[in-house]
Amino acid sequence: MKKILIITIFTLFIISIIGGSAFSMTKKDKKAILLVAFGTSYKEARVSYDNIEKHVKSAFPDIEVRWAYTSNMIRKKILSRDKLYIPDPIVALSKLQDEGFTKVIVQSLHVIPGYEFEDLSNVVSTFGQLKSNKGRPDFKVLVLGKPIMYDEEATEEFIDALSPFIEENKDKAIVFMGHGTEHFANAAYSQLELLISERFKNVVIGTVEGYPDLDFVKEKLKEIGKRNVVIAPLMIVAGDHARNDMAGDEADSWKMQLKQEGYKVEPFIHGLGENDKVAEIFVKRIKENIGLLK
């Protein structure tokens, strides 16, 4: 009798599994990739985002690709100037959920896992915990893809992506200008500086708001000893920082300060997103999670 009961329970269990999977087979999951960037109000800088989007869409042609900007200031500026509404991650995720998307990869388009990434991570984990009981479908899968530099291996990959540009300019010194932050993740720039120096003797990493700073750059340029210097943004877009802090004509821009030191300075005003190999890093980050969307 006991045996029959166990078999019956087991059979019911099997039926419920089959029933469940049959149900999920008939109801297909709606899948999306949400690309999240700081944002830029420079129309010319958007080529970086467009290039990343092109790479992501061609790698994942069957998946909906959406955007969110984290900078409220930039979102407001674009809305009032271009009448273009770009959601922040909270609105974008809420809208995806409302439209019935159940499997979503959020991909950070950040260079380092600093404050921006941390905030995004909090938003994603909060949405992952939300449970609705009013018929709005919950996310079955909601994951966050890592930014460009998060460990040594990822940093080496990033250097691989930069190396064709470095090779092209091997007769010159190259200064990459990163953003920099008070966040501890700023240490990623120092790691990059150390690792890139092992491979290339003509490159120096600096940041606008962190360490290594412009003084560090100036010292290293003396060691490199080349009069021709290329300055390039180590940022996804060539926006305000690249056009003003780096290449502006005011006396305190990096270009003018290095000219002051006697260098011949050539600004390269293209964001990392325009580099196909960098765009492919983001595709790779998405691929790291794509199995979860199956």
Residues identified as active-site: 179
Half-sphere exposure of 5 (CA within 13 A, CB side): 2
Strand ranges in 150-198 using DSSP code E only, listed in sequence order: 173-178
**Region at 184 (left for phi over 0; alpha for psi -120 to 50; beta for the rest):** alpha
CB 170 within 8 A of CB 202: yes
Q: How far apart are alpha carbons 62 and 54 in whole angstroms?
A: 13
Strand ranges in 17-84 using DSSP code E only, listed in sequence order: 30-37, 64-69
Residue type, 166: I
**Region at 100 (left for phi over 0; alpha for psi -120 to 50; beta for the rest):** left
